[in-house]
A and B are shown apart, each in its own frame.
Chain A
Amino acid sequence: MNASIRKLFFLTVLMFGGLVVVLTWWQVVQEKSLAENPHNTRKVFAQMRIERGLILDNIRGELATNRREGDLYYRVYPQGDLAAHLVGYSDPVYGRTGLERSWNDYLTGTADEVELLNTLNTLMGKEKRGADLKLTLDPEIQRTALSAMQDLGKRGAVVVLDVKTGAVLAMVSTPTFDPNLLEENWTQLNADADAPLLNRATQGLYTPGSSFKLITTAAALDTGTFQPDSKFKDDKGSIEIYGNTIRNWRDLPFGDHDFSEAFSQSINTTFAQVGDKLGQETLIRYMRAFGLYQKPPFELPADEVMASGRYQDGKLMSPEAAMDPVQVAWMAIGQENLQVTPLQMAMVAQAIANGGRMMKPYVVDNVTDFDGTIIRQGKPQELAKPISRGTAADMKDMMIKVVNEGTGSRLKTDKVQIAGKTGTAEVEGRGPNAWFVGFAPAEDPQVAIAVVVEDADAFGSISGPVALKIILAALGL
């Protein structure tokens, strides 16, 4: 029997050896992929043991802070839905979005600059704590923008930039959500057809409609192809371009007019001709100069910022994609598969207001570690110079005319001279999207703004007053 017993023991050794092999597989070979499996909450909880840095607005008001339970920290958002999309959330179950996600390394103190000091502090018996983010966000402007949009009860977005620096002063997307109530509302938030979790300011793709005439005009003036006083004629209120009819709003004919009037009255027939004259190459060149066809360099996670440009089947088309002249004419008036984000349009307004110099948008003013030492300082950076100072000055005058005599009359006020451009983009089956893109005060521009309201009912009558409220708040008027 002993021979059989030895064989049996040999089998036992084989089985136990097999166990060690499988154990090695999981503990060594698969170690990393197990750690990164989304169902594995180890990493999340490890980070929950760290007191996350605060997120503060530009007057150090708390946008995100912590509540301690046992030895875990839970995020609390004292301002609720105020800047929910921008700040985002950090939740052990639902993950992270917004600045909470893109600045996670700093907020948890694991970024290189914070890590060393944190380690030293831990050795000295202090608790590990993340670094604080102070934003450029102005709570007053943000609150005004949010309530103006909420009063309308419409979907849409607002972006307000500091003209001189590119700093984000307000960024609103409606409908919004309360990041403190994710657990209660998660199913509903995801099922809601209005997509409250979507940051429309940076991810929302909208047909620019007439607001795109800003870029067409910039190209027309900057190339010297047209001047503000270039003459045009419009007898019929519509125009045949290569057998395709382009109409003015309500087919209104404008008769003899100049380019500046075509801009202030948003005359489609004239802009179709301008586009035709400029051609695809020039238009695309200026679109790219203004930053279209690439994601604006912004501090949110890359997948929360969309690039503007022509889209087909949900995908950004190549700027080189061939277009026929009809398509070019349609593009010049902001149609033809064009999709832009409010952030992108605010950047266009900022560049024009700033004498043609586009600043890189940023929202993190500085990052301070737990000792209050600034470890990262946000600095204004010039991003591009899409148009000359002269072109910018001419455009400003034309944009003033929009407000004073043209489609933007609802923004005319004694308190400040506003400059801008309206836009109304038809949407299949719903009311149009109403745009206002502009800046103020015209003589010395401080704030640039882009407002888009979905499912609006009339020409400039909705986005205009919202923009006016926000501009007045931003300028403290």
Chain B
Amino acid sequence: MMERRRELVNFLPVLLLILIGFASVYAARSEQINAGSLTYGLFFIALFAGAHLLLRIAAPHADPYLLPLAALLSAMGIMMIYRIDPGLAAAQTKWLLVGLGLFAAIVVFLRDYRKLDDYIYLLGALGVLLLVLTIIIGSEINGARLWLRFGGLSIQLGEFSKVLITIFLAGYLNSKRELLSTTTWRFLGIPMPDLKHLLPLVTMWGLSFALLLLMNDLGTSLLFFGIFLAMTYVATGRLAYPVLGGILFTGGAILAYNVKYTVHTRVDIWLNPWTDAAGSGYQIVQSLFAIGDGGLFGTGLGKGYLLFQSGEPIIPALHTDFIFSAIAEELGLAGATALIILFMLLCYRGFKIAVASDDGFSKLLAVGLSAGLALQTFVILGGVMKLIPLTGITLPFVSYGGSSIVANYASLALLLLISHRTNAEQAS
């Protein structure tokens, strides 16, 4: 139970930050919002206290850092969303409740998560099916086909597909690890395994491109392919795979740039948003203005210039893709860097769980989930600060979005279960 006591201690600074945060949003915008924001803080704390108690019972040896880190990120998210639009914060809180519900379900019912290894083809197929569904009946938002609409509800199936495919890859690569590392022929001087073992991997590559071309989304495509490359690299220990994959991806991206108008525009906007700062470059240019306005220490919570007089956000998709720009404006370089460090710590714990784990499936699963988290964070943060072409994707735990919250808490539950198993074995 040492882990849970440590987790409780870790929660203390998180608790303090959450209370200060909600109080300062309330203080800065007391004209527009009421003391309700404080209720959010309390509700929030109650939720995580529940999650903590659950872990005490169901997974007492699980990593003591993951949950407090995720809680802090979620709190920052809800705080910013509340500041942007109190109505959305209520919805986000509901989603957080659903996310922690799934989290609890996984912790309780999937304690022996390694059973998933038996169903990887089913899970993988389900993951692909979700993507195919999105492509076929999804609706386009901002030129990218990522959303499925049911009445008033928009679901981003890609977020779940990401977790499912990661599970599939962990199982598949674990079982084919030896074969993939055995050289039977050479391609351009690079030692290659049997073609038939490569086939599923080539399929994965193809899928990534189908994503890119059919969903118009470089970011999701890069995310899936990146997870795949990272896991293949760890499974085989051979750099040749990611290098070859990287070359293929780059080639594919260049091809897409030349044949797909939307990809072309996105890259052009990335290269020079200033020429059409009021039109196509508006979103990224305004994002940079917001980030720049933050300076070293930010304008202070609730005091940034994020909304028009009408209450509409100045940057479209501020609460989802661009939530980091809002944080960077109001909390400055200090706060935004702290956020990046939080993500790095989260990834660090994830990779550490992978290293500590003693079976291949768990190791690869932890690697895949952590790499996915790292890459998704990089893709969206790099996008909003014009390091790479912008692509609509959520910032894990922070952005508004039910699918994202739920899928990320599911990933978190899996990581916690993996660490619980490893630590429990060591303890006994």
Decide if B371 touches A23 in the complex (CB within 8 Å). Answer: no
| Residue A40, interface by CB 8 Å | yes
- Tell me if B374 counts as interface (CB < 8 A to partner A): yes
Q: With A and B bound together, what is the CA distance between A39 and B344 in angstroms?
A: 34
* Given known contacts A1-B363, A18-B387, A23-B337, A8 and B344 CB-to-CB distance under 8 angstroms: no
- Type the 1/0 row for A19-39, where 1 means its CB is closer than 8 Å to any CB of B: 110111011101100110101
Check if A1 sits within 8 Å of B237, measured CB to CB. yes
Interface members, chain B 316-367 (any A CB < 8 Å): 328, 332-333, 336-337, 340-341, 343-344, 347-348, 351, 354-355, 360, 363-364, 367
Q: Which residues of B contact A34 (CB under 8 A)?
A: 288-289, 291-293
Do A26 and B378 form a contact, CB below 8 Å, given A1-B237, A4-B237, A5-B355?
A: no
Contact A20 B293 (CB under 8 A): no
Q: Does A186 contact B (CB under 8 A)?
A: no
Of the candidate stretches A9-17, A136-144, A368-376, A464-472, the one touching chain B is: A9-17
Cβ contact within 8 Å between A9 and B296:
no
CA distance A72 to B308 in the complex (A): 11
> What's the Cα separation between A26 and B385 when bound, in Å?
8
The reply on A2 being an interface residue by CB < 8 A is: yes
Contact (Cβ within 8 A) A23 B385: yes
- How far does the alpha carbon of A208 sit from the alpha carbon of B374 in the complex, in Å? 73
A260 to chain B, nearest CB (A): 62
- Which residue of B278, B295, B367 contacts A27 across the interface (Cβ within 8 Å)? B295
Q: Which residues of A have CB within 8 Å of B99?
A: none
Expressed in whole angstroms, the Cα–Cα distance for A34 and B294 within the complex equals: 11
Q: Assess whether B95 is interfacial by the CB under 8 Å rule.
A: no
Q: Please pick, from B230, B292, B309, B351, the residue contacting A30 in the complex, using a CB distance under 8 A.
A: B292
> In the complex, are the beta carbons of B344 and A42 less than 8 A apart?
no
A436 to chain B, nearest CB (A): 46
- Distance in Å from the Cβ of B203 to the closest Cβ of chain A? 23
> With contacts A23-B328, A23-B385, A26-B291 known, is A16 near B344, CB below 8 A?
yes
Other-chain residue from B277, B305, B332, B381 in contact with A42 (beta carbon distance below 8 A): B305
Task: Please determine whether A40 and B289 come into contact, CB atoms closer than 8 angstroms.
Answer: yes
In chain A, what residue has the closest Cβ to B360? A1
Instruction: Answer whether A24 and B293 are a contact pair too, CB < 8 Å, given A1-B235, A19-B378.
Output: no
The docked-state distance in angstroms from the alpha carbon of A186 to that of B88 is 38
Which of A1, A3, A16, A45 is the most central at the interface, judged by chain B CB atoms within 10 Å of its CB?
A1
Q: Mark A residues whose CB is within 8 Å of B.
A: 1-6, 8-9, 12-13, 15-16, 18-20, 22-24, 26-28, 30-31, 34-35, 37, 39-40, 42, 45-46, 69-70, 72
In the assembled complex, 17 residue pairs joining A and B whose CB atoms fall closer than 8 Å, in A order, are A1-B234, A1-B363, A4-B234, A5-B234, A6-B355, A13-B344, A16-B340, A18-B382, A19-B340, A23-B291, A23-B336, A23-B385, A27-B332, A28-B296, A30-B292, A34-B293, A35-B293
Given contacts A26-B292, A30-B288, 7 further A-B contacts (CB under 8 A): A1-B235, A8-B234, A8-B371, A9-B348, A19-B378, A34-B292, A37-B289
